[in-house]
Structure 1
Amino acid sequence: MADGELRDGEERTPARVLTVQVVSYAVLFGLAVVLGFAFGMDSVAALGAAILLVAVILVVFHVCWPFRAGLPDRLIGLVAGVLSVTCAVTPLASDSFFPAAGPLALDGKHLMYRLVRWAVCFAVLLIVLTIVAFGRQMAREERSHLIRALSHCVTGGAASVSVAGWCFLPDLVTIGAAAPDEGLLGAFIAVMAVFAVIAVLFAICSVPWWREADPDPALPAPWVGIGLLPVMFSGLMVFAACFVMQLLGA
């Protein structure tokens, strides 16, 4: 198969992949800001919308899976993503890894506590994901393209775990709204500028990703999955932005 062409002869233009990213960022940030100002920065509506959008991204990514991997590999990533979201928005799973009444929680630093708690869960999930993905490949009767299959499974799973970071977007909007009053507007602008630069770099990288991808021809619209990869990994930047602003005193 020649570079730049799909199996059906369709051109692998980057426009659709980049459009997926632009639309995703616009919807995520736009809805968070609108709901935050309409119902309050700490409103259930803003958090609920963030969780809903994360769930939609997670499902669409696994439907439009951009890698050559089987259904079990996709299910591994999907389950890991659901667990990551659960750890980000509830204490149910994460209490197993992090104390429910740690020093941060007792000191009233609830957002920092939630961030650190999810970071611990994120690390645990990545370790478990790697072990399960390796075990899945070892269990295959036909182990052809073992390294490729393992890397695809782990990459998809890591993206699925990372997307849960977008659940902290309402908190980031809250921090941004309060930054001028707390004398941290410059710091917030700098943090968001770094966010934007990394998002642009992700977008640039997604172009060769799509041109060199070898998706399963039986799966629909793999370009959507490629386009969502940078958005999903950007969940880590939302987490990092909140974490840095908390360290600065927001």
Structure 2
Amino acid sequence: MTQQASSDTTLPRRPYGGVLAVQIIALVLLIGASLLGQFALFLEVPLCVVAMVAFTVFWPFRGTWVDRMLGVLAGLVSFVFAFNALGSGVLYPPLHTTGKLAVAAGPLIRWACVYVFLLAAFTVIGFARQMAREQRTDLVRSLSQSLTGVVAMASMPGWLFIVVAASAHPFGGARFWAADAVCVVALALVVLMVVALRHWLKDFDPDPAVPAPWIGIALLPVMLLGLVAFAATLALLLCQFGIAG
């Protein structure tokens, strides 16, 4: 009991103010970078890389180095395919499609397919790892934390697609109201993530050997919001090309 109590006291502090500051700074930089137009990727790319590296260093979960490496692998594959989708697209099969919507949304749809494949593959890998353990204590928790790290790392490159939304033409008529609705929903999800983090901190149980794991937990919602950035971009493209008006 004494050893358990002493180990609990060595757990790092969970400064909500510092966590909130990291989140706000990251979100301001990521959203602000999208306003640079054709130069947005020059800032979005290093921001995503820095966030993914910081999340790996300040890993907010309990686990082994294998969990981190799986997250790094998922993030690397997702990032490469996202960046390539916005560029040459040589890593993807050719799409024989016509129409402005198909051309504009093509990079997003391609990356979405890769993302789904990554989740399926790493879910199987994670489940196989847990089944291979001799002692399967805390199996559900270990599996969920490992997969959460993979999902966060794979989702972060979704922020790269926000540059597509930022370059969209002004909306009018029905498109204007639909685009406003998309922005309101996206903003609500951002606020929800920030508010939910206070509850996540209550169950925050990092590895005591990890330096400043609160930075990792602060970056977790930001990285997951990469999916929101991706979905909002796709929805705005539908508003621009898919709604008559």
TM-score (norm 2): 0.86
- Higher mean C-alpha deviation, range 229-238 or range 142-151: 142-151
Match of 2:161 among 145, 156, 168: 168
In the alignment, structure 1 residue 230 sits paired with structure 2 residue 221: yes
Match of 2:34 among 32, 35, 48: 32
Match of 1:50 among 44, 60, 66: 44
Instruction: Tell me the amino acid that sits aligned with residue 25 of structure 1.
Output: L
Aligned residues: 231
Q: Deviations over 1:148-169 (max 9, x none)?
A: 1111100110111111110112
Cα root mean square deviation, aligned: 2.2
Equivalent positions of 1:159-198 (< 5 A) are 159-175=152-168, 178-180=169-171, 184-198=175-189
Tell me, what secondary structure is at the counterpart of 2:207?
A: coil
- Higher mean C-alpha deviation, range 182-191 or range 65-74: 182-191
Equivalent positions of 1:82-97 (< 5 A) are 82-90=76-84, 91-93=89-91, 95=92
In the alignment, structure 1 residue 107 sits paired with structure 2 residue 99: yes
Equivalent positions of 1:10-159 (< 5 A) are 11-33=13-35, 36=36, 41=37, 43=38, 45-90=39-84, 91-93=89-91, 95=92, 99-103=93-97, 106-108=98-100, 109-159=102-152
> 1: distance between equivalents of 2:156 and 2:55?
11
Instruction: Tell me the amino acid that sits aligned with residue 161 of structure 1.
Output: A
> 2: distance between equivalents of 1:229 and 1:11?
17
Instruction: Tell me the amino acid that sits aligned with residue 119 of structure 2.
Output: L
> 2: distance between equivalents of 1:249 and 1:47?
22
Q: Structure 1 pair 121/10, CA: closer, same or farther in 2 (3 Å)? A: closer
Q: Deviations over 1:4-26 (max 9, x none)?
A: xx733765342122111111111
User: How many percent of aligned residue pairs carry the same amino acid?
Assistant: 35
TM-score (norm 1): 0.84
What is the match of residue 206 of structure 1? 197
Q: Deviations over 1:39-82 (max 9, x none)?
A: xx2x2x31232121111111111111100011101110111011
Give the C-alpha shift of residue 198 in structure 1: 0.6
Give the C-alpha shift of residue 245 in structure 1: 1.3
Give the C-alpha shift of residue 180 in structure 1: 4.3
Q: Structure 1 pair 179/8, CA: closer, same or farther in 2 (3 Å)? A: same
Q: Structure 1 pair 169/22, CA: closer, same or farther in 2 (3 Å)? A: same
